[in-house]
Amino acid sequence: MALPDKPDLKALLFDAYCTLFDLHSLVRGCNEVFPDRGAEICRLWRAKQLEYTHLLSMMGRFEDFWQVTSKALVTACQSLKLACSPEQRDRLLESYFHLEVFADVRPTLKALSQRYPLAILSNGSPKMLKVVVEHNGLQDFFSQIISAS
């Protein structure tokens, strides 16, 4: 990969979700818990997650992203009239630790890390970010993982 020469760049920051980590990889786990409903659950879960994040921001309130993600999942399941037990909820939430990376992430990070320090800046909680980065073996690419939480 040929990289343009950008001497004014000091480092590169990446968002985690939908940039490095593919939220569509949640569909499989959702289908295991609620057969043939995975894509539908994931779409609404993400929409509610973003909605709650925006509302909290506008209200000047803070909630840990893990809590927001949990509440969004509960609301998504209720909206879809799916009875989600605490065990099922926990299983689905745990899938956030096992998100897959997009196909181009590793080669891109490898090329960029040879020229620039890389970091993640995300609203994901520190634990969410640490575990998903380690799960994907990306920890050596990043000098910092910064959570807005």
Measured between alpha carbons, how far is residue 65 from residues 10, 13, 115, 124, 133 in Å?
28, 19, 31, 5, 16
Element (DSSP H or E) covering residue 120: strand 118-122
* Residue 15 bears catalytic tag: yes
Burial 93-103 (b: 16+ CB within 10 A, else e): bebbeebbbee
Q: Of these residues, 5, 8, 15, 22, which one is catalytic?
A: 15
- Cα 137 to its chain centre, rounded Å, is 15
Active-site annotation, residues: 15
